[in-house]
Chain A
Amino acid sequence: MKDPKDFWAGLLFLGVGVAAVVIVLAGGYELGSARKMGPGYFPAWLGGGLAVTGVLLAVKGVATQGAPLGPWALKPLLLVTLGTVLFAAMVNWAGLAPAIVTLVLTASFASVQFNLRWAVPLALALAIASVLVFVKGLGITVPVLPHVLGY
């Protein structure tokens, strides 16, 4: 493999394309005919096309020279995603403010300069500002604090 970016992009396209075709066929999406297309017609063609494109790209990645992939930012990837997921999980029962504090603290940890001395004030400031702007100002209906506290 000489061009890993092309190769892996090709595999990604191939995988998604094949999966789409399999789901169309296994899920009983009717293909129909060109005159009267069923729900499966368009996605089946797209999936097939994507798979073919993926194969071509992967072959190109094996055959031609390219730049290396470079290191993955695994820690930021994990922490940014985790923070967002925690926000979603918390917002409707724990409330907006705790969800924001959790998101900010989790995500800040991805920075090489992480320090509780700036992360905690930042989390509190963003939580207060968001509550003021979005809940008080724009009137979004989201609990601010946990229901048990009666607010």
Chain B
Amino acid sequence: MDIISNLMIGFGTALSPANLAYCFVGVLLGTLIGVLPGIGPVSAIAMLLPATYGLPPVASLIMLAGIYYGAQYGGSTTAILINLPGESASVVTTLDGHQMARQGRAGVALATAAIASFFAGTVATLILALFAPPLATLALKFNSHEYFSLMVLGLVGSIVLASGSLLKGLGMVLLGLLLGCVGTDVETAKERFTFGIPELSDGFGFVILAMGIFGLGEVIKNLEVQRVQDVVAKRIAGLLPTRQDLRRILGPSIRGTALGSVLGVLPGGGAVLASFAAYSLESRVSRPPEGFGNGAIEGVAAPEAANNAGAQTSFIPMLTLGIPSNPVMALMIGAMLIQGIQPGPLVIQQQPGLFWGIIASMWIGNVMLLVLNLPLVGMWARLITAPYHLLYPAILVFSAIGVLTLANKEMDVYFMALFGVLGYVLIKLECEAAPLLLAFILGPMMEENFRRAMQLAQGDPTSFLRRPISVTLLAVAVLGLVVALAPAIRRKREEAFKE
């Protein structure tokens, strides 16, 4: 059995005392930041990225992955306790989770979220271990044509899966691709859109864009309406679910995991869509006595399982193809590049310790989350009540220092301020930023592969349709668009995002 020996390598790497410590620190920091309202996983990773520069590659990626699912988990804690999702993937958890909390079952709701997440994390880790190697082997056959078509599929996916109108999604993708053009053209060394600013000759850094749009933009948005928080933090008693509770969460956890694992691989907000889809599936399948929206335990288990599974499987395209499926994965790619690792299908062969170590550490991280969170819930609950007016200046300071440390150029901080303004404008216009960021990352790769493919094919665009893998990928992209445009499904999609 190949997979067992591979996982053994992975656990060998991940269980070294140093790596265990980094995993623990990552999960702890991630949960801490996820619990603080107003900071999602993207800003969390972007802010903590500088802290990992000095670490060895495996340790830094293990820590960043820990931050990611820690933040994901912390987000559900705030959703349950104060009806405020720490990040967008836990929006649906507020519906039944917070109701449970108001009925004095906050402990059970938190435990349910932890158990369902752990179950989903375990299954998704196995899926990752099973499917990543064959996918990487397939990806070795990819040429420029296939890579271009794959990226088209990715961007179409991010448009279809983003909330809001398709036209806005398309605009955001094109805007992101254009922003990705800024800098020196690789082939001709011609400077594009640099306006003579020397700092722009390498283009905008991804972290700068992400921190500006997600970090600063969100802070400004949060200051728009300074709201009163509804805190349920009396005393969280009765942490353990009863045997009957456990029986009730089994089915939703399995369904949520399955749905989340599939949706997580797809580009564009995998975990977010997964949690919404799982909740709406669950509201059709199961019949809780109290009904959904009134504190049904199923309504906590399903989306929590789904978003954790989705978070885990979103590593598949990143690790095997070198293509990010969401902004968090794009940051992970950035971190790998800083460490001198070129993400792509070769990683699995050339750096088996790194690849399997990350996978094994994900499972270990999930165990840690379970152990860490059940006893620490009381502490997180107290943290949540930290007032936002003390929090956001700290977010701004860490963002500014984080961007400054990238290359020690003040100009980067000015750009971040600029993108903060853009981010706020986009929020006001209800243009979701995820497709823009994805396009920004993929843009340069896409242009390069497009140019090379067209050169090989003597300028014949139909060559994309004559290669079997390329045409399949494009067909799936077209299918996705058609499905999203079909009137019946369009209405349902709008409903799904409204809930």
A81, A89, A113, A139: the one contacting B389 at CB < 8 Å is A113
Q: Is there an interface contact between B168 and A9, defined as CB atoms closer than 8 Å?
A: yes
A1 within 8 A of B: no
Contacts of B197 in A (CB 8 A): none
B424 within 8 A of A: yes
Quick one: CB contact mask for A80-91 with B, threshold 8 Å, 1 for yes? 110111011101
Cα of A92 to Cα of B417 in the assembled complex, Å: 17
Cα of A40 to Cα of B450 in the assembled complex, Å: 14
Q: Is there an interface contact between B397 and A100, defined as CB atoms closer than 8 Å?
A: yes
Known contacts A46-B181, A84-B416; 5 additional CB pairs below 8 A are A43-B192, A84-B413, A103-B393, A113-B389, A134-B401
Q: Given the known A-B contacts A50-B171, A88-B400, are A107 and B392 also in contact in the complex, defined by CB atoms under 8 Å?
A: yes
Q: Given the known A-B contacts A53-B171, A77-B424, A134-B401, are A39 and B393 also in contact in the complex, defined by CB atoms under 8 Å?
A: no
Contacts of A144 in B (CB 8 A): none
Cα of A104 to Cα of B388 in the assembled complex, Å: 13
Q: Is there an interface contact between A9 and B220, defined as CB atoms closer than 8 Å?
A: no
| Shortest Cβ distance from residue B481 to the other chain A in the assembled complex, whole angstroms | 14
Contacts of B420 in A (CB 8 A): 80-81, 84
Quick one: CB contact mask for B413-427 with A, threshold 8 Å, 1 for yes? 110110011001100
A35, A57, A89: the one contacting B410 at CB < 8 Å is A89
Q: Is there an interface contact between B171 and A112, defined as CB atoms closer than 8 Å?
A: no
Q: Is there an interface contact between A134 and B405, defined as CB atoms closer than 8 Å?
A: yes
A98 within 8 A of B: no
Contacts of A96 in B (CB 8 A): 401
| Shortest Cβ distance from residue B385 to the other chain A in the assembled complex, whole angstroms | 15
Q: Is there an interface contact between A72 and B428, defined as CB atoms closer than 8 Å?
A: yes
Q: Is there an interface contact between B397 and A6, defined as CB atoms closer than 8 Å?
A: no
B396 within 8 A of A: yes
Report the interface size for chain B: residues with CB under 8 A from the other chain: 65
| Shortest Cβ distance from residue B371 to the other chain A in the assembled complex, whole angstroms | 27
Q: Is there an interface contact between A81 and B417, defined as CB atoms closer than 8 Å?
A: yes
Chain B residue with the shortest CB-CB distance to A134: B401
Q: Is there an interface contact between B396 and A50, defined as CB atoms closer than 8 Å?
A: no
Chain A residue with the shortest CB-CB distance to B190: A39
Q: Given the known A-B contacts A8-B429, A29-B192, A33-B459, are A104 and B397 also in contact in the complex, defined by CB atoms under 8 Å?
A: yes
Q: Is there an interface contact between A16 and B390, defined as CB atoms closer than 8 Å?
A: no
B430 within 8 A of A: yes
Smallest CB-CB A-B distances: 10 pairs: A35-B459, A88-B413, A76-B223, A34-B459, A73-B224, A39-B185, A111-B389, A84-B417, A39-B190, A50-B174
Contacts of A60 in B (CB 8 A): 165, 167
Cα of A122 to Cα of B181 in the assembled complex, Å: 40
| Shortest Cβ distance from residue A63 to the other chain B in the assembled complex, whole angstroms | 12
| Shortest Cβ distance from residue A127 to the other chain B in the assembled complex, whole angstroms | 8
Q: Given the known A-B contacts A5-B429, A16-B175, are A73 and B220 also in contact in the complex, defined by CB atoms under 8 Å?
A: yes
Q: Is there an interface contact between B417 and A47, defined as CB atoms closer than 8 Å?
A: no
Contacts of A20 in B (CB 8 A): 178, 193
* B residues with CB within 8 A of A: 50-51, 54, 165, 167-168, 170-171, 174-175, 177-178, 181, 185, 187-188, 190, 192-193, 216, 219-221, 223-224, 226, 387-390, 392-394, 396-401, 404-405, 408, 410-411, 413-414, 416-417, 420-421, 424-425, 428-431, 447, 450-451, 454-455, 458-461
Cα of A41 to Cα of B185 in the assembled complex, Å: 11
Q: Is there an interface contact between A138 and B51, defined as CB atoms closer than 8 Å?
A: yes
Q: Is there an interface contact between B168 and A80, defined as CB atoms closer than 8 Å?
A: no
Q: Can you name 12 A-B pairs with beta carbons within 8 Å?
A: A16-B175, A23-B193, A57-B167, A71-B224, A73-B221, A76-B224, A88-B410, A107-B392, A118-B389, A140-B50, A140-B405, A142-B408
Q: Is there an interface contact between B390 and A53, defined as CB atoms closer than 8 Å?
A: no
| Shortest Cβ distance from residue B176 to the other chain A in the assembled complex, whole angstroms | 10
Which residues of A from 1 to 39 have beta carbons under 8 Å from B? 5-6, 8-10, 12-13, 16-17, 20, 23, 27, 29-30, 33-39
Contacts of A89 in B (CB 8 A): 410
| Shortest Cβ distance from residue B494 to the other chain A in the assembled complex, whole angstroms | 13
Chain A residue with the shortest CB-CB distance to B460: A34
| Shortest Cβ distance from residue A2 to the other chain B in the assembled complex, whole angstroms | 14
| Shortest Cβ distance from residue A106 to the other chain B in the assembled complex, whole angstroms | 9
Q: Is there an interface contact between B408 and A29, defined as CB atoms closer than 8 Å?
A: no
| Shortest Cβ distance from residue A145 to the other chain B in the assembled complex, whole angstroms | 16
Chain A residue with the shortest CB-CB distance to B169: A53
